[in-house]
Every structure is written in C-alpha cells, then in structure tokens.
A and B are shown apart, each in its own frame.
Chain A
Amino acid sequence: MIATRSLRAQIEHLDTLSTIPSVVRRLLETFENPKTSLSDIASFIAQDPVLAAKVLKVVNSPIYGFPGRISSITQALLLLGLNVVRGLLLGVSVLGMMQKSIVGLWEHSVGTAIVSKVIARRKGLKDPEVVSVAALLHDIGKVFLNLKFPEAYKAILAQTDAKAIFIADGETENFGVTHADVAAWVGRKWNFPALLIEQMRYHHKPHLSKNFMLHTSIVHFSDILIRARGFGYGGDGLVPSVDPVAWKILSLSRNEIKETVVEVEDLLEQAEELILAGEIG
C-alpha cells in the first residue's frame, strides 16, 4: 500500500498528468491562486465557449431551478457566487473524465445534486446551491484516484461487483484512504471553501463534520436516496446505511421522504439533457 503522504502528493500534482484535458489543467492553475476573483473566472470562461455552454446548461438545469433563464456567465456568477461557480466549473470540466472513470457516475452525481437541492430547500437552507454543488462534486475523488491509479482502481471496481462490497471499503483496503479524503485534499489544494470541503470529506461520515453538519448530512442522505432509487452508478451497486446522527439532524418524516422521491423523479426527467451531456463529455 502506498503511504498516505506519498499518495496525497501524487494526487495534488495531478495537473501534471498528460491525461488531464488542457482546460482542466488551466482551470486548476487558476484555482491555485487564492486571489482569483469573479472577473478572473468570468474571463477564464469567456475564453472557452464550450465550457461556458456547459456551465450554463448546469445552472439552467433542475439542479438549480431558477425561475428565469440564466443566459450569461456574468449573471450566473452574480446569482450563484464565486465559490459555487468554481465548483460547477470543476464539475463540468471533469464530467467527461467522470464517465470514463465509472460509467453512470455523472448520472449519480447529477441525481445526488438534485436530491440535495430538494432536501436543502425543504430544510429551509439559505444557500441550497452550495449543497447542490458539493453533491455534484462529492465523488470527484473517485475520478482523481482513477486518473492517477487506473489499474488499481479498475481492480477495485471489479471487486465491488464480484464481492458486493462498498467502493469506499475497496479504496481503504488498497489505498488506506477513500475518495472522500481525496476530494478534501483536492478541495484544499484548489482553495475551495471549508463548507464545500467538509461536505465532500464527510459525506460518508457526516457526524464528523465539525462546522457544517446539516449541509453534510443532506449530501450524505441524498447519496443514499439516489442509490436506493437505483439512479446512476457510484462505483458499487449497494445502498449504505444512514448515519444515525445525520438521520436525527435531518429529521425527515416518511411522508417528506416520499414526497422528495416523487419530486426528484420529475426533476430527473427534466434534467435529461444535462444527464446526456455526460455521455458526450
């Protein structure tokens, strides 16, 4: 097994990998600068019409569901804020890599983001879009582990199917860490806010979240609910158990969960265009 410190160093220098698309490489370089501003991000996106179109597709999808159509990146930045758009940029930039890593991972990520939005609104969160973007990115560690260690990761994926084990357990056995740890490393390296990092890091262990337990619990339960529904594929075909602390914090009645499932079903249908975008990268 690779020492954790060495593994982390390798993941943090992913941008040197030749298999990383140039747009992602440039994006990560931009993120590394802690002083990156709204106008820097706007200029970055303006240089790449394909990327701009992908971002607009996400912000106009049922993940966000703004009443009017968002037609420009500037409008998206003003409505969603720098950190959410940065997260979205990373999400749409790696979506092609997501589908190459694990077929169905993009669908799983979009599905989790949609469930998160519905629950965040139900719980009256002031910033539901922050939860949605964390949900969209919650499994990004799987993409990076697969990029850096393709053979080992392929073997883990084969094991999850053959032995019916959770992918996080397969990762721990092989790497000593999980995709959630990797997502947190990546988040820190690229200056994501603590709120986003904590949701990604603890989406399997929300009780460990020190500062954002409600947000993290929403991503945790949304991941479980979309797996239970059987939408997309997160790397194993199993439904993990809900964390008792998260269950208590969320305090959702049977009826509320049922209504959420029904609402999500409609939204997933409406999000078909976005979900298909993952197929073409």
Chain B
Amino acid sequence: MVLLRPAKSPSGALLVESGVRITEEIRVKLVGAGVRHAHIVGGPDDTRLREELSALEARFSKTEETQPMRMLQELVREHLEELYR
C-alpha cells in the first residue's frame, strides 16, 4: 500500500509525503497522530504473502511430481493468496 496523497494530522500538519509505502511503523505513527483516513493505492503489504508462498515452495520441495500433489500445492497457493491479499 502506497500513500496516494500526503497524510496530514487533524490540525493539518504534514506527517507523511505521498508516494511513501505504508509500513507497520508508519501506520502506527499515523494512527497515533490521530489520522483516521488515508488515500492509498495498491493492495495490502504483500511481504507476508511472499513469505508464505516461499515457505509453501520449500514445503513441497521433496514432494513427488504427481498430479494430486501439483493440484494440492496450487490449491493451497490460491488459498494463501486469498487470505493475504
């Protein structure tokens, strides 16, 4: 998620410039400063999803290349994408 417009405090002070990626640290800072709405672009931070998908690949690294197992891996990948996107 990236800020589409600058985030300002309720009193109008600039807190974060537009174009900045919202990390957990920035989110906490904004909420702490009383910001309740922000204009954003893009989906949620996909770091967790990337980690989950990478772990999924590792888990299947010793699995036989059979049709059921390929289907199972693909199905869990879809499920994780739905969970974390």
- Identify the A interface with B (CB < 8 A): 164-166, 224-225, 227-230, 237-242, 244, 247, 254, 257-258, 261-262, 265
Contacts and interface: CB of A to CB of B under 8 A. Distances in A.
Given A230-B52, A242-B68, A265-B83, A237 B58 contact: yes
Main secondary structure of the interface of A (DSSP, over half): helix
Contacts of A230: 52, 55-56, 59
Nearest to B62: A238
A229 B83 contact: no
A222 to B, nearest CB: 12
B72 A224 contact: yes
A228 B61 CA distance: 11
Nearest to A229: B76
B59 A258 contact: no
Interface string B46-68: 00000010011011111110101
14 contacts: A164-B61, A166-B62, A228-B76, A230-B55, A237-B55, A237-B58, A238-B62, A254-B71, A254-B75, A257-B71, A257-B72, A257-B75, A261-B76, A262-B79
A244 to B, nearest CB: 8
Given A239-B63, A242-B69, A265 B79 contact: yes
A244 B67 CA distance: 11
B83 A228 contact: no
Given A224-B72, A228-B72, A242-B68, 6 more contacts: A228-B59, A230-B52, A238-B62, A239-B60, A241-B63, A242-B69
Main secondary structure of the interface of B (DSSP, over half): helix
Closest 3 CB pairs between A and B?
Answer: A241-B64, A228-B76, A239-B59
Nearest to A262: B79
B75 A258 contact: yes
Contacts of A164: 61-62
Contacts of B71: 254, 257
B9 interface: no
B62 to A, nearest CB: 5
A241 B79 contact: no
Contacts of A261: 75-76, 79
Contacts of A237: 55, 58-59
B79 A258 contact: yes
Contact of A238 (B52, B63, B76, B79): B63
Given A261-B79, A265-B83, A225 B62 contact: no
B74 to A, nearest CB: 9
Interface in B3-46: none
A159 to B, nearest CB: 14
A158 to B, nearest CB: 17
Contacts of A254: 71, 75
